[in-house]
Structure 1
């Protein structure tokens, strides 16, 4: 390589040898010869092509990164142009680039993704050109308005799609009904089907051998299948892994609930249901799935009185006992929502950490029933023998449920309070357990308080202005120490209005960790002398 560099320098100094163009061409050839000796140039074309493909298909990589790779050298550019799979995901935000990528993709399967939030004309030519040859499409992801989907997109999807593996259609401005001959009912490789405000006929052959089925949107009751028909549809998906039905769960009557057969889905990883309580609980009861399945239920309640809430609770309880067959380690009990994990979650738990998420939505405004009438009863019915972490974030003084359901948990070591619930729930920590010398929460060793105010202020809501946190907190911890309970580590996270004097009081009874919580000085209170009024002043001599 040193000899090549010396020859390049000699040609550059020799101005009388040939013309400038000839000298530059010789220099280019010599530099190419030198570059061919580098380590990366010795990589086989197949391996380098795989490396470029890895860069191209990363979710956080823009298409411009792939373009820059082609500018490194002529070899990389030639190799990229000879690898059609690198161009199989056209960038429809730029129509000229999309057309060029479609040309370079040649006959490789295409991955089409377009969100038509602007007029279709802007990307009309490349998108319609890609969809016309539906036999080449491996995945199709389109979000468009009702008119765009019905008028432009769906008419082009009337041919078989032998390579299609994933289909996502989303619309807004009304529900779109797919025709009977959509894709001519032929997509043998289709494994993932996700529809939002789009209705597919329930007798379609596309609803078979799926691993992911997600249907969301306010579908009309006439578009929903019967309970037995729906179970037959699921029976054609033995490998189903994800089932999500939001406002598209079949309406199930009490009579149909008893006669509905069970169905086993051995590979189910995630079950999401959003509908009325009867329909959701019936599906949970009739579906047999692994204990590790993440279940997310949004139960729509129609209760108008506590009696109605109790009747609905009797439907939900058996389903929960089935779902919670595995030990629950952590629970988040907030306003109308119960979330349970199979292990202690991080700040933002991933799907694999979740075991159950249960929410309640009320269709009618009832004066005598709240979400706690249902959710509180559910929490009371669930045993938590292995519970280690409890997070409470409701802005409602649900003291009784907190005390009765979790106070006797023998393994509960961490309690996390978020928000205004701390004012009502902290005193419970200093209560004695009935017929025992120990206090409630006997194993408590860590208490976390987040996003709460330790003192009142004029900017506080009117119902909180009389509530102080320091006194009840110190009193509860001191009482636990007196009863021989384990020492408490107190973590104060992102709180405000904590004065230095109050902080010293807390430090006297617990180990304290502060984070994002500045200490404030006690405000000086001006002492005004009050002049006593002497009623006999005018008679004094």
Structure 2
């Protein structure tokens, strides 16, 4: 006996009007609601489109004069949601606000992406907002999420713990190993450490240094392509308390776009393939070498980077227990080193120096700078904005140094600044009278007219 729950016959499939209307609402909303066609700039996402209410369809034309991308393209799936007037802002303005907020707070983008659906969709789909990776507030999980949301965009990596926080070596190692496969996407790479920790450079730079892979098929070693920094433009490595004397060869010698480098307390293998295209170099000597050896080391660097337009040099001394192994550069010959494109030169002295480092004067005498336009003599102890700052006595050998500068610096220089222990009002007439094209002279931040000094 057949069951009473079984159908006696199968029902034919028919396309009902209600089902047809639902398909049209999802696939062809502009044909079903022709009122929306007049708004040519009004974009609709078919996957989230809802049937608008009659009051919205009869809206004034002024309501659609400047539609917002966040309101039209990324509509909320809630049909009766009341949209705030802030959603009428141009998406470019919102993106700029999100970008500025992310620089102030590392978790700002996470906060705004949980405000509402339009803001979340705008933040998630703007890949350039997620390119910044910070060590202080981002854990390993957030680093993975940011790298994924950045998609193919370049990355800006900043690892700079504050003075009150010692770097977590374990977390630092995990994050750098996570970053190593994506090093080809890094646009700027900054490492700043203020507190001492042993083997810190090994932990931080190990994943991005020269790596080799052994090929068993041909019995040869090949450089791992994952450490090539193909998009790197700016590099900053600062660790004044470093006591590691070894040299580091970064990115397997491949960084074709690298133009700006800032170094403090580290020794690098100055490869021509890596640093030949530099236009900016801020170099604070690591202090492991001194005297003629330190000068030859810096000369070997600037001989490689002949395209420099701005050069900042500071020599620092440190007490060492033993001798530091240094292999001199073969191309450092006696005579002058030409930097034909250098326009700005900054000579800085450390806070603890009691006299002008002889390495500075020796280095300057070995440089030929035909197109130099600016010379800045900087004292790192000088803090004019600090209320308790007091004027220090000038360096004992300041006059002798200024006389040397007259010979080494071309007469076409136009800007000259002196600050802190470089400044001596009894000696400021020396550059003013010697350099006839000098148009700007600043002493401790105060502008002085060179013409009046020449007439005096």
Which band: TM-score by shorter chain? 0.5 to 0.7
SS at match of 2:79: helix
Per-residue Cα deviation, 1:362-402 (whole angstroms, up to 9, x for no partner): xxxxxxxxxx9xx4663353446999999799xxxxxxxxx
Structure 2 partner of 1:119? 168
1:221 equivalenced with 2:307 (yes/no): no
Give runs of aligned pairs for residues 257-272 of structure 1, distance below 5 A. Answer: 260-261=335-336, 263-272=338-347
Residue in 2 aligned with 1:281? 361
Q: CA deviation at 1:357?
A: 1.8
274 and 209 in structure 1: CA distance in 2 versus 1, 3 angstrom threshold: farther
1:253-402 pair list within 5 angstroms: 260-261=335-336, 263-274=338-349, 276=356, 278-285=358-365, 286-288=367-369, 290=371, 292-297=373-378, 313-320=399-406, 355-357=416-418, 360=421, 375=424, 378-379=427-428, 381-383=430-432
Q: Secondary structure at the match of 1:79?
A: helix
What does the per-residue CA deviation read over 1:20-53, in whole Å, with 9 as the maximum and x for residues that have no partner?
xxxxxx9931447x77xx796595xxxx357515
Give the secondary-structure state (helix, strand or coil) at the position aligned to 2:129: helix
- For 1:327 and 1:196, locate their aligned partners in 2 and report how far apart those are by CA, in whole Å: 28
- Closer, same or farther in 2 for the Cα pair 1:291/1:167, shift >3 Å? closer
SS in structure 2 opposite 1:112? strand
What CA distance in whole angstroms lies between the structure 2 residues aligned with 1:110 and 1:133? 9
What is the aligned partner in structure 2 of residue 107 from structure 1?
152
Unaligned runs of 5+ in 1: 8-25, 250-257, 300-307, 329-341, 343-354, 362-371, 394-405, 413-440, 443-541
Distance 1:382 1:111, change over 3 A: closer
Map 1:85-484 onto structure 2 (within 5 A). Answer: 85-92=128-135, 93-95=137-139, 96-116=141-161, 117-122=166-171, 124-144=173-193, 145-158=196-209, 159-177=227-245, 179=247, 181-203=249-271, 205-221=273-289, 230-231=298-299, 233-247=301-315, 260-261=335-336, 263-274=338-349, 276=356, 278-285=358-365, 286-288=367-369, 290=371, 292-297=373-378, 313-320=399-406, 355-357=416-418, 360=421, 375=424, 378-379=427-428, 381-383=430-432, 411=452
Work out whether residues 114 and 142 of structure 1, in 8 Å CA contact, stay in contact via their aligned partners in 2.
yes
In structure 2, distance between residues paired with 1:211 and 1:87: 28
Q: Compute the RMSD of aligned alpha carbons.
A: 4.8
Aligned to 1:422: none
Q: Secondary structure at the match of 1:134?
A: helix
Partner of 2:67: none
Give the distance between the partners of 1:196 and 1:76, measured in 2 at CA.
Answer: 41
Q: Select 1:29's aligned residue among 55, 79, 85.
A: 79
Shift of 1:164: 1.6
Question: Is 1:70 equivalent to 2:133 in the alignment?
Answer: no
For residues 340 and 237 of structure 2, the distance between their equivalents in structure 1, rounded to whole angstroms, comes to 25
What SS is found at the alignment partner of 1:167? strand
Once the two structures are TM-superposed, the CA of residue 99 in structure 1 deviates from its matched residue by: 3.6
Contact 1:270 1:295 in 2 (8 A): yes
Instruction: Name which one, 1 or 2, has greater alpha-carbon Rg.
Output: 1
Shift of 1:111: 0.9
Say if 1:279 and 1:78 are closer, same or farther in 2 by CA, change over 3 A: same
Contact 1:132 1:157 in 2 (8 A): no
Contact 2:99–2:129 under 8 Å retained in 1: yes
TM-score, length basis structure 1: 0.48
Could you tell me how far 1:97 is from its partner in structure 2? 3.4
Work out whether residues 187 and 233 of structure 2, in 8 Å CA contact, stay in contact via their aligned partners in 1.
Answer: yes
Mark the CA change 1:148 to 1:410 in structure 2 (over 3 Å): closer, same or farther.
Answer: closer
- 3-state SS of paired residue (1:28): coil
Kindly state the Cα deviation for residue 110 of structure 1 after the two structures are TM-superposed.
1.4
